[in-house]
Amino acid sequence: VLTVVPPEGTTSSEFTRAARLREALKGAPSPSIVLGNGDDAAVLRPGGDVVVTTDVLVEGVDFAAWAPWDAVGHKAVAVNLSDLAAMGAEPLAYLMSLCLPRGFPEPHVEALSAGMASCGALHGLPCVGGDLSRTSGPVVVGVTALGTVPPGLALTRSGARPGDGIWVSGVLGAASTGLGLLSQQAGLSRNILETLEKFASGAHREAVRAQLAPTPRLALGRALRGVASGCVDVSDGLAQDLCHLLVASGVGARVEVARLPAHPSADPAHVLSGGEDFELLFTASDAAAVERASRACGVPVTRVGQVTAGPGLDLVGLVSLPGEDVGRLDMGEMPRVSGAQGLRGYVHFPAAP
Amino acid sequence: VLTVVPPEGTTSSEFTRAARLREALKGAPSPSIVLGNGDDAAVLRPGGDVVVTTDVLVEGVDFAAWAPWDAVGHKAVAVNLSDLAAMGAEPLAYLMSLCLPRGFPEPHVEALSAGMASCGALHGLPCVGGDLSRTSGPVVVGVTALGTVPPGLALTRSGARPGDGIWVSGVLGAASTGLGLLSQQAGLSRNILETLEKFASGAHREAVRAQLAPTPRLALGRALRGVASGCVDVSDGLAQDLCHLLVASGVGARVEVARLPAHPSADPAHVLSGGEDFELLFTASDAAAVERASRACGVPVTRVGQVTAGPGLDLVGLVSLPGEDVGRLDMGEMPRVSGAQGLRGYVHFPAAP
């Protein structure tokens, strides 16, 4: 007599877990979701171009052991939404994959899923698919987000032209400051709110929130359709992400370091090179249109420089001698294919005096 | 003096690796890929409903340590394409995420990427995005595949009706047989072809190929649009996947075990419950239309049973006493929400006499 066995490596509780996750993350019905989670695949009816991106967070690499699990879930969705924002896209849906060690506590799964669900609900997108696997290693959370944009209106990195202004939204250095504050903080917290309560200063709390639960600039991205010539989100630090944009556009830039909008508690180094701010960095030829877009969505933007024929990025006023040009990224030497991702090897800063 | 530092956790070689992977996987240009890999996100112009699915493979759980890396890459893409096939979708593009331990050998990355690229090229879909992360644990390969289907024509699990016939494509039990053969095989092989050469028997080689480099039934899935009332791919074994379809459709079924198309080397148990065959299992009311679809794409299909009002799955002839009904899945007792994924707990097979 034959018995029907579960697929290798799964247990009854994992099946129940998959069903619970599906229910917790399914979101509200929408006419563009023809078929949600639960079949072989989901079916979406986007009504425009489809924008799609994927990001994976690994425990111990992309998030620390002390990170509350709801923050991990929130951030896994938010970092993907930030990529959609940089394309000017409207969020549509996401899929997630989760690799968990055997015996991973159910309350942690619930917190992780609550963080994902809350970020999804905040920005109106459901989870339409997922995969759950065991692992003998660290927790891995992968998210793929899909968005839509009217045909041909996606913002890209490649449209910046000499003479365009350069703007950045919000403030810089908050997330790295938050990471520093959290790393010094003794004792784990169970969730984002409990963690925030440990910080009395408003500026510190804002920095910690930027680290744990970043806000993707979706409304600004949409408002910049037809306005921005080039756009990128600040995930690796302003200097590096600007280089991505400049190389993709085949131009250079001059940035006034003193104009960069620093978070009040930020170390100056974090303003230029601190990662995970998830602000939008963009170029445009029409400053008045940028102002209108910023006002329309209530997100402050700061003009920080200008696109040049290049190649090269001039960071004006990088040390505290006003007007002195001390930093230059020589992009002429970069390998053609790997693009800005090889930039670090070509950063020529003079040694300290 | 400020220095621009690489994002935490990345090294120069990882940047180069990302660029190399992007180049190796980019595929041929296509009018539906507005913007491929390299920006914040990809932009696609699907021209129909979008079908999307994700699957993650974890080393030591979803693939064995002896698996050649090109097989892992091939399979990571193929299992997602099998889900698209079960929806009747045309492949459009995929995204991948890769978590690799520090020091993971570059030739293995190249083999993994060659396997992905070859599966992508075979089925005409490029990689339009990806994410690369370090991990302290096993290798994790995640793929999200997108496809298109004319609006409203996606095949689902939920349309089977009493009286419909039940068909399955190809043969069953090949992949589990291949897994058994490979597990007994001493000595690792570097790639799929070298592994296949170790098996002299044609049937064994076919089984090993089914395990290492499964063929998604994309042409059959497309041919079944408007013909199949319900469809699922056989990833967890025929009995279990049929239950998924039956529960989603709210029906039962009667399957003639003797009619199941067994791979010549397959253990009888593998025919009903062996996973990873990635054949299509589907229901339809018009047998002549099924025959035409099968001939049109050159994929053999076998009629194995009939949909009943249910609930319950009768596996007729499960032990070698013709006509005796020995297996029954009592689906009436299943929890409503978790659906077929809770089935195993409700499998009532009579004890052997």
Asked if the model's pLDDT at residue A345 lies above 60, the reply is no
The per-residue pLDDT for A335 is 27
**Surface-to-core class of residue A332, CB atoms within 10 Å of its CB (0-12 exposed, 13-18 middle, 19+ buried):** exposed
The per-residue pLDDT for A346 is 27
| Rounded mean pLDDT, B266-295 | 94
User: A352 and chain B: CB distance < 8 Å anywhere?
Assistant: yes
Predicted TM-score (pTM) of the model is 0.88
Among the partner residues A40, A50, A62, nearest to B44 by beta-carbon distance: A50
| Rounded mean pLDDT, A205-232 | 97
Q: What are phi and psi of A134, to 5 degrees?
A: -80, 160
Among the partner residues B8, B49, B352, nearest to A34 by beta-carbon distance: B49
CA gap A250, A264 in Å, rounded = 34
Asked if the model's pLDDT at residue A348 lies above 90, the reply is no
Share of chain A above pLDDT 70, in %: 85
Confidence of residue B33 (pLDDT cuts 50, 70, 90): very high
| Rounded mean pLDDT, A97-124 | 96
Confidence of residue A268 (pLDDT cuts 50, 70, 90): confident
The per-residue pLDDT for B15 is 59
| Rounded mean pLDDT, A177-198 | 90
CA gap B147, B219 in Å, rounded = 13
Confidence of residue B40 (pLDDT cuts 50, 70, 90): very high
User: Which of A30-44, B39-53, B319-333 is the least confident region?
Assistant: B319-333
Q: pLDDT for B137-158, tens place per residue? A: 999 999 999 999 999 999 999 9
**Contact yes or no for B133 and A56 at CB 8 A:** yes
Asked if the model's pLDDT at residue A321 lies above 90, the reply is no
Residues of B in contact with A57 (CB under 8 A): 133
**Contact yes or no for B19 and A326 at CB 8 A:** no
User: B337 and chain A: CB distance < 8 Å anywhere?
Assistant: yes
Asked if the model's pLDDT at residue A323 lies above 70, the reply is no
CA gap B254, B306 in Å, rounded = 5
Select the more confidently predicted residue: A13 or B257: B257
CA gap A325, A308 in Å, rounded = 15
User: A173 and chain B: CB distance < 8 Å anywhere?
Assistant: no
User: B187 and chain A: CB distance < 8 Å anywhere?
Assistant: no
Is the separation of the CB atoms in B117 and B22 below 8 Å?
A: no
Asked if the model's pLDDT at residue A302 lies above 90, the reply is yes
Confidence of residue A319 (pLDDT cuts 50, 70, 90): low
Is the separation of the CB atoms in B333 and B346 below 8 Å?
A: yes
Q: pLDDT for B221-239, tens place per residue? A: 999 999 999 999 999 889 8
**Contact yes or no for B344 and A6 at CB 8 A:** yes
Asked if the model's pLDDT at residue B278 lies above 50, the reply is yes
Instruction: Give the largest Cα separation in chain A, rounded.
Output: 85
CA gap A127, A76 in Å, rounded = 12
Alpha helices in B185-277 (DSSP H): 192-197, 202-212, 218-223, 238-249, 268-273
Q: Which residues pair with B255 in a beta bridge?
A: B305, B315
Confidence of residue B321 (pLDDT cuts 50, 70, 90): very low
Which helix (H) or strand (E) segment holds residue B52: the answer is: strand B49-58
| Rounded mean pLDDT, B179-203 | 90
CA gap B340, B334 in Å, rounded = 8
The per-residue pLDDT for A14 is 57
| Rounded mean pLDDT, A29-36 | 92
3-class secondary structure, A284: strand
CA gap B8, B95 in Å, rounded = 23
| Rounded mean pLDDT, B41-57 | 95
Residues composing chain B:
353
- DSSP annotation of A27 reads -
Q: Which of A88, A74, A94, A55 is nearest to A227 (CA)?
A: A88
Among the partner residues B4, B147, B344, nearest to A12 by beta-carbon distance: B344
**Contact yes or no for A44 and B50 at CB 8 A:** yes
Sign of torsion, CA B121 B101 A214 A271? negative
Asked if the model's pLDDT at residue B337 lies above 90, the reply is no
The per-residue pLDDT for A270 is 85
Q: Looking at chain A, which residue has its C-alpha nearest residue B272?
A: A4
| Rounded mean pLDDT, A301-320 | 83
| Rounded mean pLDDT, B320-338 | 32
User: A304 and chain B: CB distance < 8 Å anywhere?
Assistant: no
ipTM: 0.87
Asked if the model's pLDDT at residue A322 lies above 60, the reply is no
Among the partner residues A41, A50, A131, nearest to B87 by beta-carbon distance: A41
User: B277 and chain A: CB distance < 8 Å anywhere?
Assistant: no
The per-residue pLDDT for B335 is 27
Asked if the model's pLDDT at residue B102 lies above 80, the reply is yes
Asked if the model's pLDDT at residue A79 lies above 60, the reply is yes
User: B258 and chain A: CB distance < 8 Å anywhere?
Assistant: no
Between A and B, how many residue pairs show a Cβ–Cβ distance under 8 A? 315
The per-residue pLDDT for A216 is 98
**Contact yes or no for A38 and B7 at CB 8 A:** no
ω before A300 within 30° of 0 (cis)?
no
Residues of B in contact with A329 (CB under 8 A): 4
Q: Which of A37, A64, A57, A349 is nearest to A184 (CA)?
A: A64
Confidence of residue A276 (pLDDT cuts 50, 70, 90): very high
Q: pLDDT for B73-99, tens place per residue? A: 999 999 999 999 999 999 999 999 999
Average pLDDT, chain A: 85
Among the partner residues A87, A96, A138, nearest to B41 by beta-carbon distance: A87
3-class secondary structure, A70: helix
| Rounded mean pLDDT, A136-165 | 97
The per-residue pLDDT for B7 is 39
**Surface-to-core class of residue B351, CB atoms within 10 Å of its CB (0-12 exposed, 13-18 middle, 19+ buried):** exposed
The per-residue pLDDT for A10 is 47
**What is the spatial order of strands in the sheet that B90-101 belongs to?**
A33-35, A42-44, B49-58, B140-149, B90-101, B127-135
Interface of A with B in 126-165 (CB under 8 A): 128-131, 133-138, 140, 142, 144, 146-147, 149, 151-152, 154, 156-158
